[in-house]
């Protein structure tokens, strides 16, 4: 049986609850693609990208959280390995959604800056975890 630290257990429980939010985003996306919610082609593509990134990154983030338990990382490196992807799972979808909001928008607004920020945090988390795993339990 896998033993989780209290921090990992609580984080995993909270992250699992976010799936309900991702589901509601899926419902909104259905409304967009069926024409029930007006959106430009740009908005539709960014909403799709945001929804897809949210779902995939939450699952990857949970896997990273579990894999971090198999490392000897500590402090900031442990936090980054365990939650970097989860932070990216917030920043990247937020960048897609927030930069596309507004009636008739055909290009991203300033919130698009969240996309590279999320990508950097995600990459830092994955690389830190990989190094921690390769360094040996």
Q: Looking at the domain assignment, is residue 40 inside a domain?
A: yes
Residue 25 located in a structural domain: yes
- What's the domain range around 90? 6-134
What is the per-residue DSSP string for 72-136?
Answer: ---HHHHHHHHHHHHHHHHHHHHHHHHTT-STT--S--GGGGHHHHHHHHHHHHHHHHHHHHHT-
In a domain, 1, yes or no: no
Percent of the chain at pLDDT > 70 equals: 99
pLDDT for 137 beyond 60: no
What's the whole-model pTM score? Answer: 0.91
37 lies in a domain?
yes
pLDDT at 2: 73
3-state secondary structure of 35: coil
Six token digits for residue 65: 């959280």
* Span 80-135, pLDDT tens digits: 999 999 999 999 999 999 999 999 999 999 999 999 999 999 999 999 999 999 99
Q: What is the structure's pLDDT at 75?
A: 96
49 falls within a domain: yes
Domain count, the chain: 1
Is 50 part of a structural domain of the chain? yes
Taking the C-alpha atoms of 77, 112, 92 and 80 in order, what is their torsion angle to the nearest 10 degrees? 0
Q: Would 28 be classed as within a structural domain?
A: yes
């Amino acid at each position: 049986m896998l033993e989780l630290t209290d921090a990992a257990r609580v984080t995993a429980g909270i992250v699992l609850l976010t799936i309900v939010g991702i589901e509601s985003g899926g419902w909104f996306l259905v409304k967009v693609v069926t024409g029930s919610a007006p959106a430009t082609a740009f908005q539709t593509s960014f909403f799709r990208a945001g929804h897809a990134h949210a779902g995939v990154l939450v699952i990857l983030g949970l896997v990273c959280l579990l894999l971090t338990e198999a490392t000897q990382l500590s402090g900031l490196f442990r936090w980054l390995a365990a939650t970097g992807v989860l932070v990216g799972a917030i920043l990247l979808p937020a960048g897609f959604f927030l930069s596309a909001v507004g009636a008739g928008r055909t290009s991203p607004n300033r919130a698009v800056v969240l996309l590279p920020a999320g990508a950097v945090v995600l990459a830092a988390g994955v690389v830190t975890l990989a190094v921690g795993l390769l360094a040996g339990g």
